[in-house]
Amino acid sequence: MTGLEAQALQGFCARFGVSPPFDTERIRAGRNSEVLLVSNRQGRWILKHYYQHASDTRDRLGTEFEFLAFLQDSGVNRAPRPKGADHELGYGLYSFLPGARPGVIGSGHISQAADFVREINRHRRSAGAERLRNAADACMSWRDHLNLTESRLAQLLATTPTAPLEFDAQAFVRDQLLRFWAELKRTILGDVAEGELAASLAPECRIISPSDFGFHNALEDAGDLSFVDFEYAGWDDPAKLICDFFCQPELPVSADQGLQFREELLGDWPDSDGVRRRVRHLLPVHRVKWCCIMLNEFKLEGRKRRSHAGIEPEGLLAGQLRKAKQYFDTHLASTH
């Protein structure tokens, strides 16, 4: 951090009641933002420096800060409190939550995760909820789910490989992912009527989703979970939230745990049978999507975001390709 950057950070924190002198420590939490632990004699806070680039138009700061303000106004706990934001600097300041990533995931963890989402959605008809944005990559129809995965495949195939590892990654996408995808899409198009594919999900059937939701974004303290990282949060299809919960690769859940989350989350949800049907058909669609997400680093923009977040580039590409292949072999290869 340069002297000017340190001065800007100190000025920002002071505006929101965190007075220097304080210590800052970069922590490894987040793949798109630089995350700092700020501490002084009065306490500890989390400062996020959000990735900003002309080619990435997502307002990560605005989305997360507004979502956490909605949670605070709604009395929803187990999430950071927003303290201050500066869009020009790309800084967001939040309360510090104690704890560490959970180790072994048990049924109690699943229940706490489902309870958190259900608590959020008890306020879905409030004025604050109406002001929330759609989630990043929100899917409001069957067609949206298919287009989302198809666009990620297309982006990976549109890159021009220049090194052996990049050629390997593109061959994996072309020869395995794309071949699986063509067969899967053909099956879904045969099972779902054309009119249903394009029909938009009724507003009362949409969910306020934390997005990118799983135990990789959870902190456990004395058995109690809290949740962080809401850069993609907003209104979405509950089937997408459930599929992504099943699909998370960092701290994965078992099939039984995914089903437990689905059932505890849905409860008396409107059209719960429709959600279950979409999850059955769309889970492999989102598995393919997650393989593509693991290969984001093969796109230049993905590497820039990881570098901004402080993730070392050495070995990154080889590791991500290995993970994507293992994920495909585990969850998709045996299904066709």
Chain segment 243-263, per-residue pLDDT in tens: 999 999 999 999 999 999 999
CATH 3.90.1200 range(s) for the chain read 107-335
Residue with the larger pLDDT of the pair 54 and 87: 87
Write down the residue that tokens 């987040």 correspond to. Answer: 30
Mean pLDDT of 54-74: 92
* pLDDT for 4 beyond 80: no
**Cβ proximity of 9 and 2 under 8 Å:** no
Mean pLDDT of 72-88: 97
Mean pLDDT of 20-34: 81
Architecture label for domain 107-335: Alpha-Beta Complex (3.90)
> What's the full length of the chain, in residues?
336
**Cβ proximity of 230 and 211 under 8 Å:** yes
Backbone angles phi, psi at 285, to 5 degrees: -60, -45
* pLDDT for 181 beyond 60: yes
pLDDT, averaged across the chain: 92
Alpha-carbon distance of 232 to 28, in angstroms, equals 19
* pLDDT for 185 beyond 80: yes
Each residue's pLDDT tens digit, 5-20: 888 999 999 999 999 8
Quickly name the fold that domain 3-95 has: Phosphorylase Kinase; domain 1 (3.30.200)
Alpha-carbon distance of 286 to 279, in angstroms, equals 10
Q: Which residues pair with 226 in a beta bridge?
A: 219
Write down the residue that tokens 């585990």 correspond to. Answer: 330
Two structure tokens written together for 164: 């052996």
CATH 3.30.200.20 range(s) for the chain read 3-95
* pLDDT for 305 beyond 70: no
At residue 47, the pLDDT reads 96
Each residue's pLDDT tens digit, 89-147: 999 999 999 999 999 999 999 999 999 999 999 999 999 999 999 999 999 999 999 99
At residue 306, the pLDDT reads 44
At residue 89, the pLDDT reads 93
* pLDDT for 223 beyond 70: yes
**Cβ proximity of 94 and 64 under 8 Å:** no
Q: Which of 44, 136, 58, 129 is nearest to 93 (CA)?
A: 44
Structure confidence at residue 314 as a pLDDT band (50, 70, 90) = low
Structure confidence at residue 301 as a pLDDT band (50, 70, 90) = low
Alpha-carbon distance of 309 to 34, in angstroms, equals 4
Structure confidence at residue 55 as a pLDDT band (50, 70, 90) = low
